[in-house]
Amino acid sequence: MANSAFIPLREAAPKRSPHGFALWELGFRPFYLLAAWVALLSVPLWALQFTGLLPAALLRGSAWHAHEMVFGYALAVVIGFLFTAGRNWSGQPTPTGRPLMALALLWLLARVLVLSPYGLTSLLVNMAVPWGAAWGLWRALSAGGNRRNYFFVGLLLMMGVATAALHLQALGLLTLGLGFGLPLALDILMFMIAVMAGRVLPMFSNNGVPGLNARRDPRLEKLALASLLALLAADALGLGGWLLLAPLLLAAAAHGVRLALWQPWGTLKNPLVWVLHIGYLWLPIHLLLRAAAGLGWCAPGPATHALTVGLIGMVTLGMITRTALGHTGRPLRAGRIELCAYLAMLLAALVRVLLPLLAPQFLMASVLISAALWSLAFALYLWRYTPILMRARVDGQPG
């Protein structure tokens, strides 16, 4: 069942003390913390280097920044989410304990190796992270006969191919189109978010705002997801410019109507819900800005950051708060810390996208301000959720 992704699995096990250490009990715990830490530290480092306040030799420029946001931050959130949801989809355990610890350590090693001179070793370790996660997820899904979600395993394998392509291009060993690297990975993340949003956002909205009546249209769902798969294929083939104008406009319209059916204007009293709706709004905005950039009407940067800071940043922040609360037995309510984090992320996206569009001469300022707001959001998250993620569930249940 789609809705079971966020229903804690109730195994027959003795209740535990809510003060016990539980970091390795379920995938969301270590990987949400790792994601928040890499988001908190790497973005301001990149911003300081971009603006010349740190030596250029310290990091490896925009390539490092892009790689770490996708294969460091976003991939960690995806792994934590899928390991947790996969257990409920299949009724089978996903990696916990030592296997989970080993994958987390592999992820940490990958973060170090991307800054090292050991290019081939970095390639292998960075590719092993999503492939290891795919193996752990597949074992649970196959044991539970949950074929409906096998495609997530395929998407994780494709993430491994994407990071391998980036490394091979950096080493001068691959001359295929750049679409096999970062654009492919971003398209995969956008598709994953679109799939999960369609499954859970109407339910979250109706549960969180009584009487809202958010709904789904099956034909529109197929069109919206198919449009993103078409863009993924186009990027993999290296297509662009006028050829993508119609698909981009169609996809933007489909996802805009899809969001309207979920009635986002009725969710403003519930931050745990509106953060996901506002985050999802950045998807059609990204598609429209990408179309404009393809026509030469604006630079590509705003489109990219509408996707990365707006869509990925806001939706993942909303999900790692909501799922952390739900899977630790806490009430699904956002307090002042969560609200401040959501607003900081929203402002980070607005500054990073709109300021370069309206006043390109303030690009440096937009990078610094947006980076500070982004880091504030994750500092607040770590302050609030580090003890929650490290301690056992408050209801004594496993997980």
Mean pLDDT in residue range 292-313: 95
pTM recorded for the entire structure: 0.93
Report whether pLDDT(5) > 70.
no
Predicted local distance difference test score (pLDDT) of residue 1: 36
Whether the Cβ atoms of residue 195 and residue 232 lie closer than 8 Å to each other: no
- Does the pLDDT at position 117 exceed 60? yes
- What is the pLDDT, as a whole number, of residue 17? 59
Dist CA 199 CA 214 (whole Å): 12
What average pLDDT score do residues 341-345 get?
98
Outline where 175-327 has alpha helix (H): 182-208, 218-237, 245-261, 271-294, 300-305, 314-326
- Residues 228, 236: Cα–Cα separation, whole Å: 12
List the domains of the chain with CATH numbers: 19-203+212-390 (1.20.210.10)
Give the pLDDT score at 3. Answer: 42
Q: What is the mean pLDDT of the chain?
A: 92
Rounded alpha-carbon distances, angstroms, from residue 172 to 165, 166, 201: 10, 10, 43
Instruction: For residues 322 and 267, give the distance between their C-alpha atoms in angstroms, rounded to a whole number.
Output: 15
Burial, 180: exposed, middle or buried (Cβ in 10 Å; 0-12, 13-18, 19+)?
Answer: buried
Distance, in Å, from the CA atom of 328 to the CA atom of 25, rounded to the nearest integer, reads 11
Lowest mean pLDDT segment, chosen from 163-177, 278-292, 304-318, 356-370 = 163-177
pLDDT value of position 241: 79
One-letter amino acid identity for 39?
A
- Written as six digits, the tokens of 102 are 């080993």
Neighbours of 226 (CB within 10 A): 13
Q: What pLDDT, in 10s, does the model give residues 385-399?
A: 999 999 999 988 888
Residues 6+ apart with CB under 8 A from 105: none
63 burial via Cβ count (<10 Å: 0-12, 13-18, 19+): middle
Q: Could you say which DSSP state residue 328 is in?
A: T
